[in-house]
Structure 1
Amino acid sequence: MAIAFLFVWVAVFILFYINKLTNALCVQKEIPEDRQPKVFRTINVLITILLISSYVDILLSSK
């Protein structure tokens, strides 16, 4: 149970930091305002899939 709480906190931190880096990318590459939500959505979905698969891997390896 403690692993789940720790993983959730780390996942929230990772998502926050990835969004910060995505914003820096959009500013540096001068991505138009109308395309930025699509960039954020794509990156957030991919990172969420990565985090969920990592969590499942941790759950299965601990049993």
Structure 2
Amino acid sequence: MMMVLYIPFAVFILFKINDMTNKLCIQKEIPEDRQHKVFRTINILITILLISSYVEILFA
């Protein structure tokens, strides 16, 4: 049951974070070749955060 609610929430969070990252890259005028690294780093960190919060909720 928890997974049914958490997965759409996690996907929504990832899309919103990517949208905000895109706006940050535009505002700070980050070059195209560095934007890939910025997106990858932020996506990995947010994914780790979402997985750890799911595990914490699951076992709490």
TM-score (norm 2): 0.98
Shift of residue 27, structure 1, vs aligned partner:
0.0
Residue 8 (structure 1) aligns with: 7
Superposition deviation, residue 3 in structure 1: 1.2
Return the alpha-carbon distance in structure 2 between the equivalents of residues 38 and 5 of structure 1: 31
C-alpha RMSD of the superposition: 0.4
Q: How does 1:51-62 map to 2 (within 5 A)?
A: 51-61=50-60
Gaps of 5+ in 2: none
1:34-58: CA deviation from partner (whole Å, max 9, x where unpaired): 0000000000000000000000001
Distance (whole Å) between structure 1 residues aligned to residue 38 and residue 25 of structure 2: 8
Note the residue ranges of structure 1 that are not aligned, 5 or more in a row. Answer: none
Normalising by the residue count of structure 1, what TM-score does the alignment of the two structures yield?
Answer: 0.93
Render the CA deviation track for 1:17-41: whole Å, top value 9, x for unaligned: 0000000000000000000000000
The one-letter code of the counterpart of 2:59 is: L
> Runs ≥4 in structure 1, deviation > 3 angstroms?
none
Identity of aligned residues (%): 70
